[in-house]
Structure 1
C-alpha cells in the first residue's frame, strides 16, 4: 500500500503560530499585510512583498498562507470586499466607483466577487443595510 507524504510544517485550513509552522515572523506578516492594504486599489506583486520581507517569492507565498490560512491574493481580495462593504454602508458613492476604488477591474468583476462572497449582489446588500 502506498503511503502519502504530508508536509506537517503548515496546516492550510487554519492560521497557525509562525514560530512552529513555517509561517511568517510576526513583523513580516504585519509588513506584508500593511503593504497589501497600502496598495488595495492597484494591487502589488507578490515578488515585491517577498522582497520587502527578504524572502524568495515562493517561500514568502507559502509562509504567508501558513500564517494567514490564505494566499496573498485571497487575503487582498477579502480586504477589498471588506472595504467595499464599508463604503457601501457609509457613502453615497456609486457601486461602480466603489468597485474601482477597491481595486476591482470593473463593475461586473466587483459584482461577481461580491455576490460569490456575500450571497447577494452589492445593490441588494446596500438596500438590505438601509
Structure 2
C-alpha cells in the first residue's frame, strides 16, 4: 500500500463541506418555510449544527451562503408562479417572504435582467414556462446548488 492512498473499495472520500444528511435536513426546512422569514440559526438548528459551522460547511458544499441559496430558491419559485400568471405580483412577493413588492421587483430584476411583470408577460405570450431565462449566479453556485 502506498501512503495516502485508500485501496479498499468501500472507503470513499466524501465531498467537502456539509454532509448529505445535514444538507437534506436544511434543504427540507428551507423548502417548507420558503414563504416565511427565518434566520441562519433556524436553518442551522434544522441541520443540527452550530450556526457558524453550518454557514462555513454549507458554503463549502453549495458554493454560496445559505441565505443566498434561500434567495435562489425563492426566485426560482417566483419564476414558476409568475409564469402561471394566476396571481398579482404583490401576492407572489408576499407568498415568498419578500418585504414588499418593491423589494421583490428589485431582487428579481437583478437576478433575471427583467421585471417580474415583463417576465410574466413573456411567459404568457411566448408560451414558455420561463425555463429559458436563468438566474444570474456565480459559476460555483450555479454548478453546485441543489436544483
TM-score (norm 1): 0.81
The aligned residue for residue 19 of structure 1 is: 14
- Which of the numbers 28, 36, 40 marks the counterpart of 2:34? 40
- Closer/same/farther in 2, CA of residues 112 and 123 from structure 1, 3 Å limit: same
Question: Any conservation in 2 of the 1:64–1:70 contact (CA below 8 Å)?
Answer: yes
Structure 2 gap segments, 5+ residues each:
1-12, 125-147
Query: Computing the radius of gyration over CA atoms, which structure comes out larger, 1 or 2?
Result: 2
- For residue 67 of structure 2, what is the aligned residue in structure 1? 73
| Residue equivalent to 1:109 | 103
> How many residues are paired up?
112
Q: Is the 8 A contact 1:61 1:72 kept in 2?
A: yes
Aligned: 1:28 with 2:17: no
* Structure 1 stretches lacking a partner, 5+ long: 1-17
Deviation string 1:49-101 (CA, Å, 9 cap, x unpaired) is 22232321110000011111111110000011011110111241000000110
Supply the RMSD in Å over aligned alpha carbons: 1.4
4+ runs deviating over 4 angstroms? none
Write the distance in 2 (CA, Å) between the matches of 1:127 and 1:49.
Answer: 35
Q: Does the aligned pair in 2 maintain the 1:84–1:102 contact within 8 Å?
A: yes
Asked if 1:55 corresponds to 2:59, the answer is no
